[in-house]
Structure 1
Amino acid sequence: MESPIYYSRTEFIETDTGNKVSRRATIAGPQNIILGGKTIISSGAIIRGDLRRSGPGHAVVISLGRYCLIGEACVLRPPYKTYRGAFNYYPMKIGDHVHIGAGSVVEAATIGNCVEIGKNCVIGKFTIIKDCAKVVDNTVVPPNTVIPAMSLFAGSPGHFVEDLPESTQEIVEAETKEYYGRFQAVDKER
């Protein structure tokens, strides 16, 4: 096992379900965001739960599953479109064991389980990323793209590169759980 990643207990808020949210992250509209548990939201991350459709039945805008890792300075923003002259935001659903690298901007509709998104990626509006997919660093995925399960995407614009191994799900689950276990609070800066 790799060495622990220490963080100052005063910099993060830990919830009853084990979520660890940096006080330096911007969580706009927290009543519209669901965190599944054991999720880490890093410093500088911005999650826009305040951008939502009006009216009944449209409360939850962004939901994240368990063991999600949201990197530093990431932006999660629900996808939007104008329909019949009305500007509407749509929900964003993120599965379990999803790692989004630092500096990425995500406007996907759905991200499946065991998905890795690299650093400095742009995931366009209404993109659907299926289970066990990987988007490498600096990839720009155009809006409305569907990334198949078990596939590796790269480039600008993002395109299919290769199939991932059958063991991808087990590898990603182990990596996210191990990272969460290494992410430990200390009372003072080390």
Structure 2
Amino acid sequence: MAKRRTRGKRYPLLIYRRLFSLYAGPLVMLFLVSAAPLGATFVWELPRLQPIRWTLVIIAVISILLLLALFVARWLAFVRCRTNSLLIQVPLYQVVISYGRIRLTRPAEFARIFPPRGQTWSQRRFLESLWGRTVIVVETKGLPLPRWWLRLWLSKYLLLPHDSGFVFAVEDWMGLSQEIDSFRSNWLLRRKEMQVPGTF
């Protein structure tokens, strides 16, 4: 008998990958711009740079720390099916959605859920690589936690704007959709098998 899977594949969330790709370059440049003259002060002891040496150190350290934080966020942000629930993992938080709460899953175009005209200029720039993508929408019977609380931890582009549910922009949206349907069907089947005849 085939062993039943207890968890599915990790599907990285593109919103957080976009964050890394957008800011990684400027942060690397900021580090180089601050580290180069800093190195010069140690090698040649340039007197003009001595007064700002510690400022350069602080800028270099902050830029590296931010770069590392973005890299960790890129790696830690994903959605994954588990035996009894769907897991949304972001760098500092996780949300667990019971399969019993899910009403339906459907594909949709990202731009139809978050129309470009409703975003600010900076948001449109941030989302430009996602407008034409197909995403997976998971509609739920209410949110597992208050919306205001979820917004403290999750990107606004993970929450369905005008209804209860979640929006997942991932590379393999078909794979994620199939896994959610498969794991949810198995969960429903187990629930049915556990019901005792004659009880209500």
Q: Same fold (TM over 0.5)?
A: no
- TM-score when normalising by structure 2: 0.25
| Greater Cα radius of gyration, structure 1 or 2 | 2
Structure with a larger share of its residues in helix: 2
- TM-score when normalising by structure 1: 0.26
Structure with a larger share of its residues in strand: 1
Which protein has greater RCO, CA pairs closer than 8 Å, 6+ apart? 2
